[in-house]
Amino acid sequence: MSDLAGSEPAGPAGRRSGISDWLIVSHLIRLPNQTGTQLLLLPTLWGLVLASQGRPSLHLLVIFAAGAFLMRSAGVVVNDVADRSYDSKVARTRSRPLASGTISAGEALTIAILLLGLAGALVLLLNRLALLLSVVALLLAVAYPFAKRIVPLPQAVLGLAFGWGAVMAWAAARDDLALPVWVLYGSIVAWTVGYDTIYALQDREDDARIGIKSSALFFGDRTWLAVGITFGTALVLLGVAAWLMKIGTVFYAVLLAGAGFGLYQVFRLRGPVSPELALRLFRQHVWIGWIILAGLWLGFL
């Protein structure tokens, strides 16, 4: 993404204008690109639909949709603060506001705290169990940016963070943590590891050069196989979670379509994968996420 801050001239004495500040914040939270927000929101909606057996309340839908936007926005800011020295060395990320120096780490952290505060206000509208679970969500969101320095599969930490929204949604809808939600959680973690491994293929050479860990580096030439296993695991666990909630057969037809989509992606990954192809395959998961959500709804009609 280009440096949006450069599209507005600075004000007197080198100060940024108000419009420029908003453009920088927009760039910082990835406002023009909401792929990540959707990938965080969709599993949460899966959890709501399963928990309510196809009849989620509008109240919870609005809260979790807004919460997904706020938490994803805060998450990318924290990630950029942690990675600002690395991002400046990678072609794909060096135009980000922190990496390019158009905003300071202190300013970015202030924005992150504001976003987290707004998300926290939304959590206060939920029941006590969901409120308690939100503490884990915060810890996971903060842990991910640092996991890539320590663990060989930081994508698994991202999966734990992205899947936790579904656990909170289930708790908010049913005020319990029954077996189906944990099976669903495992499915979401596996799915996230799969698609984020594909995303990491864009930066495999840069990550190896600067010392960042990723599943794309860890799996190496067998990335296609690892992605196939994670997708297969995700589909099986999702099917089990839906079966435990006594969903209709139409959902399983959607699940079979998802399996076909997974096989197509694995086939593409067996050959050379350019950064452009990796990004395109990654973005396709938004569509499969929405299709699965539709299948869950239809399965309860």
pLDDT per residue as tens digits for the range 67-99: 999 999 999 999 889 888 877 777 788 888 888
Stretch (H or E) spanning 48 = helix 35-51
Report yes or no on whether pTM surpasses 0.75: yes
Q: Which fold has domain 36-299?
A: Tetracycline Repressor; domain 2 (1.10.357)
Q: Which residues of the chain have pLDDT under 70?
A: 1-19
Q: What is the pLDDT of residues 246-297, one digit of tens each?
A: 999 999 999 999 999 999 999 999 999 999 999 999 999 999 999 999 999 9
Whose structure tokens read 């060989």?
Answer: 152
User: What are the phi and psi torsion angles at 52 (to 5°)?
Assistant: -95, 5
* Residue 88 · residue 99 · CB < 8 Å: yes
Distant-in-sequence, close-in-space partners of 285: CB < 8 Å, separation ≥ 6: 39, 191, 195
User: What residues does each domain of the chain span?
Assistant: 36-299
Residue 158, helix vs strand vs coil: helix
Nearest to 36 by CA among 1, 66, 3, 71: 71
Q: Residues 28, 108: contact at Cβ < 8 Å?
A: yes
If we measure between CA atoms, which residue out of 77, 71, 76 comes closest to residue 105? 77
pLDDT of 251: 97
Which residue's entry shows tokens 């890539």? 148
